[in-house]
Amino acid sequence: MPNEWQSVLDEIKNNVSEMAYEAYFVRFNFVSNENDTLIASVPNVFIKAQIEGKYHNAVLDALKSSKYKFKDFKVIIDNKDNKTTVKRAVEITPDNTPVSTFSKKIIIPTPNYDSKRLSSDGNGLNPKFRLSNYVVGSNNDLAVSAAHAVIENPGMRYNPYFIYGGPGLGKTHLIQAIGNEILARNPDMNVLYVTIEQFYHEFVEAMRKKLDGFSEKYRKVDVLIIDDFQFIANKEKSQDEFFHTFNELQQHDKQIIVASDRLPAQIATIDERLASRLMMGVPIDIQMPDFETRCAILKSKAELLGAEIDDKTVEFIAENVRNNIRDLEGKLNQILALAELRGVPAYELIDDSYITQSNIQTKRKTISVKQLIDKVAKYYNLSSKDLLGTSRIKNIKTARQISMYLMKEELGLSTVEIGRELSKDHTTIMHGIKVIKNNLKTDFNLREQITDLRQKIYTS
């Protein structure tokens, strides 16, 4: 039913953003119609989780408006042409040798990468970082959509490709995945991944020993991927060298990919010329994933580990670990390892003191509104009365809006309940929360403050 299916896809395209459609639905294929239920396929578990979760209603609406009046749909993974048996637990080494394993084997879709090509050419790329195992959510869908554009035409769009966000949010995974995907499609391309620290130390060593070839190494690549760019702060000569490397590559339409914890202008002592050039390609922000995306990440990580995990445990971890993805994965590994050691299902460990004692956010339900307000007030050298009052002085107003945001995010209160606590109408609360959410996208200092406040709220 190619024509009818295309009309369904067109309807979905009208119901979701262009970025979401490109990320999830270009590989959403019709399989069959069984008792008014659509069976459709996607290439991997990550896209399946997003369509079944976040975009469930959008797909249902499109299906109900189609000629066949589908009442429901089911998503399956189509990996018949591209399967690999994976048996792994902690991680894969560069040569794809399992370093430790669970007994369970799983079948997952894997791109046709030449692992020797990706790991033996000195390009710095780790073959385990791939788009097929990168979970896409509202926190990173723009970054992933732009990544697809870079992969399709390196050097033509989003050049430089600059992403920024706090530590542990998947920036390294994404930029290395771009490099791996470009190499998979263009094996003859010269792709190089380095951290800015590696760039700096090589540069210093070349100057100290008066070695030739440093500039040529970086200026002859087709794709240059730089990680942890924020550490270029206070390295003036390295900034100057990178500035000239940047210019040389861009003049020849070579792709530049940069990841940083913060925007260029927020990096201390950075050269204004360099900061300006890095902002040319539309910098893209990556934030902490929402609850649904955290659940999808945990399920996919467990699947890659070859381990079974129940929804109760997944939701427990996703609810209580909200700092970054590294902490999320760390808690998953901790629970799975302890469950295997004790020979019990993972959900039996949820209330185990060994699991909860290192996770301060399990205390979140015991925090009162008064305690939260007192902590925020103290953090900003204000009184609780200031936050509960009507003053519109900027620092008091901002602290009050941060309190609103934390009441919503940490205590799960509705805008009406927050308004009742602060003696404000719910539209004021909605506005205050929206202001903080928007500012978190670009204000790195505010992110640090929110993270610091979360730690202080849950500690005595």
Measured distance CA(128)–CA(176) in Å, rounded: 9
Q: Which of 283, 12, 27 is nearest to 136 (CA)?
A: 27
Residues in Cβ contact with 173 at an 8 Å cutoff, skipping those fewer than 6 apart: 129, 134
Torsion of CA 233, 237, 243, 249, to 10 degrees: -120
**Nearest CA among 189, 165, 186 for reference residue 258:** 165
CA separation for the pair 59, 47 (Å, rounded): 13
Is 288 in contact with 323 (CB distance < 8 Å)? yes
Instruction: Determine if the pTM surpasses 0.85.
Output: no
CA end-to-end span of the chain, whole Å?
62
pLDDT at 352: 65
Q: What is the mean pLDDT of each run of 10 residues along the chain (460 residues)?
A: 78 79 82 84 74 83 76 78 32 34 32 42 87 84 88 90 88 95 94 95 88 88 95 91 94 95 85 89 81 86 84 87 82 87 82 56 65 93 93 93 91 89 92 89 76 74
Query: Cα separation of 337 and 397, whole Å?
Result: 46
Identity (one letter) of the amino acid at 428? T
> Angle at which helices 311-320 and 325-342 pack, to 10 degrees?
140
C-alpha to C-alpha distance for 355 and 247, rounded to whole angstroms: 50
Q: Quote the pLDDT of residue 444.
A: 67
Residues 89, 248: Cα–Cα separation, whole Å: 43
403-423: string of b/e by CB count within 10 Å (b at 16+)?
bbbbbbbbbebebebbbebbe
Residue 195 CB-density burial (10 A; 0-12 exposed, 13-18 middle, 19+ buried): middle
**Two structure tokens written together for 419:** 């308004």
| Per-residue confidence (pLDDT) for residue 150, from 0 to 100 | 93
Total Cβ atoms within 10 A of residue 162: 24
* Other beta carbons within 10 Å of 303: 18
